[in-house]
Structure 1
Amino acid sequence: MDWPEVNVPMLDADDCRLISDEEIEDIARECREAWKLGSAPIPNVIQVMENAGIICTRATLGHVKMDGISHVSVLDGRPYVLIAEDKANAIRNRFDAAHELGHVVLHSKISAAQYAKKELYDLLEGQAHRFASAFLMPPESFAQEVVWPTLDNLLSLKSRWKVSVASMIVRCRDLSLLTEQLELRLWKGRSARKWTKGEPGDDALAFEQPKLMMRGAHLLVDSGIFERTELVHQIGLPSETIEMLCNLRPGYLSVQPDAGDNVVPLKLKRDTTRSGRTRRAEVLPFPQ
């Protein structure tokens, strides 16, 4: 497959303790500039990532505390991102995608040993969260729309920015738009409204679907490069798993084409009939 060229700014830092909040804000802005996103809300995060050459997929992981995973391959230098779909919340799923993008941009040079340390792991996660907030809510535009940071005001911005009220509260804190007292009041008010397990408007947004892998699978099959069963054999995974990872419709790889399309036509031999009568067969003599 001729995938889109990788166009992802990556921070050249091998120690997460040396990455500052200012650097995170700067590289989030650099990503927006590289992808010509301006400072407006991003309509579709996964589409932006795929256009930048990142292979994205969504799958059920069976682990509610795992939101996703990302990796930059040493074989082709291409980032790969898997987003967990266990949580039925498109707003959260969208932030998770931006979070994994943060790991790709910030931590591609970080060793696995740093992830293994609890205190550094928490720092890495916090940095990816900061990147996601800065990427989704750039300061020059988002701050201007927060006239007064009340719960109702933030909720009114949710459909436009496509982020949760909780994420907006954190972003307002990062941009110094809140005092400690006001931030505490917002968190208590959010809890009093019982928004901790779900906010108004969570179901109003459809899940963002990866399309690059799906288009690739269709291209291979429709171009005659592989039959569907052969494609499954080449990949070596169950057809249901491939359909999930490639965002294909259920049954696309497991349902066989119509058998009528594969019937071999039969023809009579040219010399079997003459004038509508069957030619007499030649009898071969057998010796005793």
Structure 2
Amino acid sequence: MRVGTPGFVPERLIEARAARRILSKKALATLISVNPSTVTRWEDGTSAPDADALAELAAHLHVRREFFLRPVANSDRPLFYRTLASTLVKDLNYQESQMHWLQEISSIVEHYVDFPEVDIPDVLHGASYKQLRDEDIEQIASDLRTHWSVGDGPCIDMMPLLERVGCIVGSIEMGTSKLDGLCSWAQGGNRPHILLSTDKMSFPRRQMDAAHELGHAILHRHVSEEELKKDLKEIERQAFRFASAFLMPATTYSYEVKSASLASLLSLKERWRVSVKAQIRRLSDLDIIPADHATSLYKLYSAKGWSREEPLDKNWPISEPTVLANALQLIVDSAVRSKSDLLSVEFTMKAGDIENLTALPPGWFSRNAEVIGLKLRETVTDRTTGEASTILPFPSRK
């Protein structure tokens, strides 16, 4: 029989350890001065920490005790991320834990605030992603531009578009440039959540990452975990093809390409706000330039040092998501919940975690503390004589 704190959820300990980038059970055991086998039993569910151990875990992992008693805000859909062989396991686990926390935060906030209605049409009509041809993806991107009234020109900013069509978006520093974005539909498949990286970010890269994750939400909504593992390369290619088609429509962008040179593409970048590298790929995908020409452009691109930073990358400010931040501000401003209530009753992670994920300014939860209005009584009673005295107003200095 399992002993310890009733209701302890083992998955929450695994999640918190990942969120704090504690790679091993042994490292956590050392941190809280217990045997590694004890942490193993906690995480596999064969035992649970007692009250004192739970308090130690909460203190060292910077969460409230209640964190370990709530179910994981897990999705029944896979998480779409670009797995790289060189990416550390702890970075991938960290990114996954932050997605779960984003989903948990949005679930809590949605109890109080109506989010924008999800406006993501079923473009596959029951078909599988395996049946998609490149021309199908091009048409889907074009149809969605029409559906969302984006027009045929440049998409000025993907961030407000994502939130307008009902996506919940968070952005955090991943701690590595090898992780870009992450997408997952919430439990029940009623709303997509997208988590974007801010590491070494430029506006054109943010545009492509956002469109890429939107592609997953649209094309791969019903993909299973097994299919994702088996067909990851093709699924990623489809998402990138969608993003390119959405940001650079074949019916308009391609006709503005006067010459396939880096100088020409740099000029187009200023208008279309898409990186030169992505444009080279787009021209190759549309068979506007042959493969050997694309290879030559990539080599020249690398020789110029543009792999580290392209010209014009800093021309546009990077927009942040606003829906969750505005919703929390509305809850507080409307006196539905105070900031202290939110932290002590609703949320179980620390204030900084919530601020990071929701794009609230650092320290938001500690600012503008509630001030209780007080005023002096007109009469007071002398505690020694019991007689009433009148309070005289103090004259102001001239």
With structure 2 as the length reference, what TM-score do the two structures score?
A: 0.64
1:111-150 pair list within 5 angstroms: 111-117=224-230, 120-150=231-261
Radius of gyration: which is bigger? 1
SS in 2 for 1:262: coil
SS in 2 for 1:29: helix
The match for 1:3 is 115
Return the offset for 1:263: 5.5
1:214 aligns with 2:339: no
Which letter maps to 1:250? Answer: P
Return the offset for 1:108: 0.3
Which letter maps to 2:298? Answer: W
CA RMSD of aligned residues (A): 2.1
Q: Distance in 2 between matches of 1:192 and 1:65?
A: 21
Return the offset for 1:64: 2.5
1:184 aligns with 2:295: yes
Instruction: Please point out which of 340, 357, 360 is paired with 1:248.
Output: 360
1:1-288 pair list within 5 angstroms: 1-12=113-124, 15-75=128-188, 77-117=190-230, 120-233=231-344, 234-255=346-367, 257=369, 261-262=371-372, 264-267=374-377, 272=381, 278=387
Greater mean deviation of Cα atoms: 150-159 or 249-258: 249-258
Which letter maps to 2:309? Answer: G
Identity of aligned residues (%): 34
SS in 2 for 1:207: coil
Structure 2: give runs of 5+ residues left out of the alignment. Answer: 1-112, 389-398
Q: Distance in 2 between matches of 1:185 and 1:59?
A: 35
Change in CA separation of 1:78 and 1:240 when aligned onto 2, cut-off 3 Å: same
Q: Distance in 2 between matches of 1:22 and 1:43?
A: 24
Which letter maps to 2:246? Answer: F
Deviations 1:55-75 (CA, angstroms, capped at 9, x unpaired):
111012224322111111233
With structure 1 as the length reference, what TM-score do the two structures score?
A: 0.88
SS in 2 for 1:153: helix
The count of residues paired between Structure 1 and Structure 2 equals: 272
Greater mean deviation of Cα atoms: 49-58 or 85-94: 85-94
Q: Distance in 2 between matches of 1:245 and 1:224?
A: 23
Q: Distance in 1 between matches of 2:232 and 2:350?
A: 33
Return the offset for 1:15: 4.3
1:16–1:123 Cα contact (<8 Å) kept: no
SS in 1 for 2:184: strand
